[in-house]
Amino acid sequence: MNTVTVQNHVVLVIDDEVQIRRLLRITLEANGYKVIEAASGKDGLVEAATRRPDIVILDLGLPDMDGVAVLKRLREWSRVPVVVLSVRDRDEDKIAALDTGADDYVTKPFSTPELLVRLRVALRHVQPVEEEVVFRSGDLVVDMADRRVSVKGQEVKLTVTEYSLLRLLVRHAGRILTHRQILKDVWGPNATNQTHYLRVYVARLREKIEPVPSRPTLLITEPGIGYRLLTAE
């Protein structure tokens, strides 16, 4: 699997805490990133528009506007990957950010290695996944050109709905997808509250792709939020 080279990638950090910005600058620059800082939502949007960073780290508790509002404004004209870094750990805050277009959500206090991994995964989304790409994670192989799925070299038969669900997860591999996002994409806009559909099909999919379905290692539940398909590092 191709790895992301972080050298020269520009990160915009939008956070009003001087200590957090200092910590992130030291950590990120030590790992090959270039760092731009903004202490408010308004300044962050200006920096995003003028400096065109490769990725954004966004706090939600900004002094002039809520981080979700910043994200909504940003998504009107940019698809730059955004990783939310916030002290807010309620499910509703995470869901609001992810539904608005965040690529990932990390809570403070945070693990530096975990944040770096999340950034690398988000950066892989900069270039769109093409249909002919063969996705691999562990023993799972998904050839989207041929619509073939295999585990340990053995072909796995999926229903149309199961394949649609897996394909969506593959296209956003490494990223949290909320229940609402998945239901809307797979079952349509009128099914966004039908979470029982999703539970049933996730269970079916795990039975077919997980070594031990009761202890999933590929298709991971993000409690109260949604699901994430892990990618091999």
Residue-wise pLDDT tens digits, 165-213: 999 999 888 889 999 999 999 998 888 888 898 999 999 999 999 999 9
Mean pLDDT of the chain: 90
pLDDT at position 4: 44
CATH number at residue 83: 3.40.50.2300
Q: Do residues 209 and 181 share a domain?
A: yes
Per the domain annotation, does 83 fall within a domain?
Answer: yes
Per the domain annotation, does 4 fall within a domain?
Answer: no
pLDDT at position 2: 40
**Closest to 121 (Cα-Cα) out of 8, 7, 233:** 233
Please give the average per-residue pLDDT across 50-60, as a whole number: 94
pLDDT-derived band at 1 (thresholds 50, 70, 90) equals very low
Q: Do residues 63 and 142 share a domain?
A: no
Per the domain annotation, does 140 fall within a domain?
Answer: yes
Per the domain annotation, does 1 fall within a domain?
Answer: no
Q: Do residues 168 and 81 share a domain?
A: no
Using one digit for the tens of pLDDT, what is the confidence trace for 147-157? 899 999 999 99
**Closest to 83 (Cα-Cα) out of 62, 54, 109, 63:** 54
Q: Do residues 82 and 105 share a domain?
A: yes
Cα separation, 139 vs 128, whole angstroms:
23
Instruction: State the pTM of this model.
Output: 0.72
pLDDT at position 11: 97
pLDDT at position 124: 81
Cα separation, 229 vs 117, whole angstroms:
14
Highest mean pLDDT among 73-82, 97-106, 116-125: 97-106
Q: Do residues 76 and 177 share a domain?
A: no
pLDDT at position 146: 77
Say yes or no to pLDDT of 119 above 80. yes
CATH number at residue 170: 1.10.10.10
Q: Do residues 31 and 114 share a domain?
A: yes
Per the domain annotation, does 148 fall within a domain?
Answer: yes
Q: Do residues 96 and 146 share a domain?
A: no
- State residue 230 phi and psi, 5-degree precision: -75, 150
Per the domain annotation, does 5 fall within a domain?
Answer: no
The total domain count for the chain is 2
Q: Do residues 14 and 99 share a domain?
A: yes
Instruction: Look at residues 123, 142, 161 and tell me which one is the last residue of a structural domain.
Output: 123
pLDDT at position 126: 67
Say yes or no to pLDDT of 31 above 60. yes
Per the domain annotation, does 128 fall within a domain?
Answer: no
The range of the structural domain enclosing residue 113 comes to 10-123
pLDDT at position 132: 47
Q: Do residues 63 and 144 share a domain?
A: no
Say yes or no to pLDDT of 65 above 90. yes
**Closest to 49 (Cα-Cα) out of 81, 20, 74:** 74
144 or 43, greater pLDDT = 43
Instruction: Look at residues 123, 157, 192 and tell me which one is the last residue of a structural domain.
Output: 123
174 or 106, greater pLDDT = 106
Instruction: Look at residues 73, 91, 123 and tell me which one is the last residue of a structural domain.
Output: 123
pLDDT at position 175: 87
Say yes or no to pLDDT of 5 above 50. no
Q: Do residues 190 and 109 share a domain?
A: no
Per the domain annotation, does 164 fall within a domain?
Answer: yes
pLDDT at position 233: 55
